[in-house]
Amino acid sequence: MNALPTACAGDAEIALAARRLLEGGLVAFPTETVYGLGADAENAQAVARIYAAKGRPSNHPVIVHIAPQGDVSYWAAEVPPEARLLIDAFWPGPLTLILKRAAHIADTVSGGQDSIGIRCPSHPVAQALLAAFAAGKPNGQGGVAAPSANKFGQVSPTRAEHVRSEFPGEVAAGMPVLEGGASDVGIESTILDLSRLDRGAGPVLLRPGHISAAQIEAVLGVQVFAPDAAAPRASGTLKAHYAPRTALELASDARLRDVIQGRDLPAGRVVAVAYGEPPAALDPRVQWQSVPADPARYAQALYGLLRDLDQQGYARIIVQAPPATEAWHAVNDRIGRAAAAFTLDTTDL
């Protein structure tokens, strides 16, 4: 386990949070991807508290987080060789594996499905919490069900203060929020379905993330497929998701030129989120927000930026479309779903 960074939760805070989990309460904690809202994965009432706090549909699965010393086979009915290869290559880290759920694990964590999503986070605070929680379990096997610590469908939190502002009632009632600094990755984990290998389906990439399909293919030596109609439901895969409260538009370069020149703008202030320095001929109604041209740095900054812009009273956030390349797949996925929240009919969700 890595040493705890400066200004992160200490041993006493982690011990208190572990006790809260053992008592069936909620805890917010940092991971390398985003902050999670966690509960004991084997306590149905505790998991229900996650869904109630987030306003999350009960059929939308959550991911179970385990410590590096945790036993995957406790949670999964079967751990195929492909899963072992990926665990050795990428855990601890931002990769979630969908496996067949063990019979003794309730389907409350999988939205009623026969599968389960499992990952081992690399953040030292998350690892310390998971280890302390597991140590308090009679069998030493502790898993924390934890979606992102935000209201359902909204922008995920990458700092502890984001969580506190999202759940003031829970925090006031005593929910621990463990400090862990800014999330290194900044977007949610890659999700890979391995639950249907025995039926000839997979591996299937359900959600892109920091770990790419190409990296997975290099380890497995086989192609990673796009989701099919029979793929299990997974966290963060609805058509509209990750959305700020301010209307967000995904703009082509041609549309961005129109924005710069003040054509077809909504009433009120508009911010353009784009690469490079602001052009000289920028319409005065448009504010310019430069973003990194590197996909990893962009992902790391994305959610914090959207949360900051949400507080500034803009009528619309207009985001320049990133390159349509594999390196930008995860960023495009998140921005596309955020924009879809303002363009889809509710029947599409």
Is 337 annotated to bind a ligand? Reply is: no
CA atoms within 13 A on the CB side of 250: 18
Is 119 annotated to bind a ligand? Reply is: yes
Rounded to 5 degrees, what are φ and ψ at 194?
Answer: -120, 15
Give the count of beta carbons closer than 10 Å to the beta carbon of residue 11.
Answer: 10
Give the DSSP H/E element, type plus range, for residue 289: strand 286-291
Three-state secondary-structure class, residue 29? strand
- What angle separates helix 295-310 from helix 329-340, to the nearest 10 degrees? 20
229 by Cβ neighbours in 10 Å (0-12 / 13-18 / 19+) ranks as exposed
What's the rounded Cα separation, in Å, for the pair 96 and 114? 16
Is 65 annotated to bind a ligand? Reply is: yes
263 by Cβ neighbours in 10 Å (0-12 / 13-18 / 19+) ranks as exposed
Is 226 annotated to bind a ligand? Reply is: no
What's the rounded Cα separation, in Å, for the pair 116 and 120? 14
Is 146 annotated to bind a ligand? Reply is: yes
DSSP-H helix ranges across 79-229 = 81-90, 124-135, 160-166, 168-172, 213-220
What's the rounded Cα separation, in Å, for the pair 140 and 135? 5
Three-state secondary-structure class, residue 211? coil
**CB contact set of 99 (below 8 Å; sequence gap of 6+):** 72, 75, 76, 77, 78, 79, 80, 83, 115, 116, 118, 194, 195
Is 156 annotated to bind a ligand? Reply is: yes
Is 189 annotated to bind a ligand? Reply is: yes
Is 242 annotated to bind a ligand? Reply is: yes
Query: Distance of alpha carbon 164 from its chain centroid, rounded?
Result: 17
Binding residues for L-threonine are 33, 65, 119, 146, 189
Binding residues for ATP are 56, 148, 156, 207, 242
Binding residues are 33, 56, 65, 119, 146, 148, 156, 189, 207, 242
